[in-house]
Amino acid sequence: MSSYLFTDAKDEQPNLRLAIVGPEGSGKTWTALAIATNLGDRVGLIDTENGSAAKYRRDFPFKHLKLSTFAPLTYVQAIEAAATQGFDVLIIDSLSHAWSGKDGALEQVDRRAAGNKFSAWREVTPMHNALVDAIVGAPMHVIATMRAKTEYAVEQDGGKTKVVKLGLAPVQRDGISYEFDVIGDIDQNHNLRITKTRCRELDNEVIPKPGAELAETLKRWLGSGDPAPPGADPDVLERIRDLEEKLAAAGAVSLQQFSQGLRRYNVKAVADLSAADATDLLARLEAKLAQVTEPPADPDPEPAPEPAAEPSPYQIPEAVIAERQAQLDEQNKARPAGSRK
């Protein structure tokens, strides 16, 4: 019998995934803060723009984390830290650096390539996938800003070749848009044109200087679901991450294997585990670490001494034999010399 069971669809209250794409000077950071501070009370911001977001500290209440290296796994650690600290909304400003910035995916591929980029991508792709999984699984609203590039296509028109401008595309891996609920392109006049949305109320909308009104629309849409189940104890999650690092350092579990293991619990990030699932995973990791750290068996152990044989109930004790022999010897002495045998 199959273990797969279809149930009634249930819309748990989701956490928003919003992307804001635009060129320099379009107001991506300001817009992200204007929306975020109306979505939740506690806002955290990952700053990859040389600390520029801190200039808005007098305009919006938020906590600030400045990154100096943009490796995808650095973003993962920052997202997990935000989850542990209990933010309602996390702004990633900007997600483009994880792709094309210092220590980003493209730079890491170039370092590893050595003439074979296919081999390099086999190492870097799981790291970038871990970042995407962390964004999707984060237990909070996530707003990501991305730099824009102009996308073109070459077409044939009446036998002539011409270049056609298709619009703006985010500076990130192809297909990143699939991970977001709402995506908007923002222009130099701070108009946000919605290019993708799962919220019907925003379909094809153009919103000038978006902020509180857009946040209210999103909250109405998000509030239509059922409350999500409570998450795990932060101390348990921290212990899981600690064991993950120890097992990885021992070569027992790779990052990719750990991410695959989370699928057992239908989550993509540690922070999204339920209390029961986190307890189960912690027990599994502790057992795995015990196996790894257990001292190796002696290759040439001393043979164990053979146990003494238990006496048979039919065996005559030595003392009885000796006593009987002594009696026979006495009898032989008492007999005449000629009658002894």
Q: Tens digit of pLDDT for each residue in 250-300?
A: 888 777 777 777 877 777 678 778 888 888 889 988 988 888 877 666 666
Q: What is the CATH number of the domain that holds 116?
A: 3.40.50.300
Task: Quote the tokens at residue 110.
Answer: 């170039």
Find the domain containing 91 and state its range: 17-226
Same domain, 263 and 169: no
59-73, 127-141, 184-198, 266-280, range with the lowest pLDDT:
266-280
119-123, 199-203, 213-217, range with the lowest pLDDT:
119-123
Same domain, 63 and 206: yes
Same domain, 216 and 247: no
Vertex 309: Cα angle to 306 and 315 (nearest 5) = 160
Same domain, 191 and 48: yes
Same domain, 262 and 209: no
Domain-terminating residue out of 205, 226, 247: 226
Question: Is the per-residue pLDDT at 225 higher than 60?
Answer: no
Mean pLDDT calculated for residue range 30-39: 97
Mean pLDDT calculated for residue range 78-85: 94
Residue 320 counted as domain residue: no
Residue 67 counted as domain residue: yes
Same domain, 132 and 187: yes
Report the pLDDT value the prediction gives residue 13, as an integer from 0 to 100: 59
For the chain, helix, strand, coil in percent to 5 are 45, 20, 35
Confidence of residue 301 (pLDDT cuts 50, 70, 90): low
Please choose, from the candidates 149, 113, 108, 104, the residue with its C-alpha nearest in 3D space to the C-alpha of residue 131: 104
Residue 33 counted as domain residue: yes
Same domain, 61 and 124: yes
Residue 204 counted as domain residue: yes
Question: Is the per-residue pLDDT at 71 higher than 90?
Answer: yes
Type of residue found at 316? I
Percentage of residues in the chain having pLDDT higher than 70: 84
3-state SS string over 223-260?
Answer: CCCECCCCECCHHHHHHHHHHHHHHHHCCCCCHHHHHH
Please tell me the pTM assigned to this model. 0.65
- The domain tally of the chain equals 2
Same domain, 47 and 69: yes
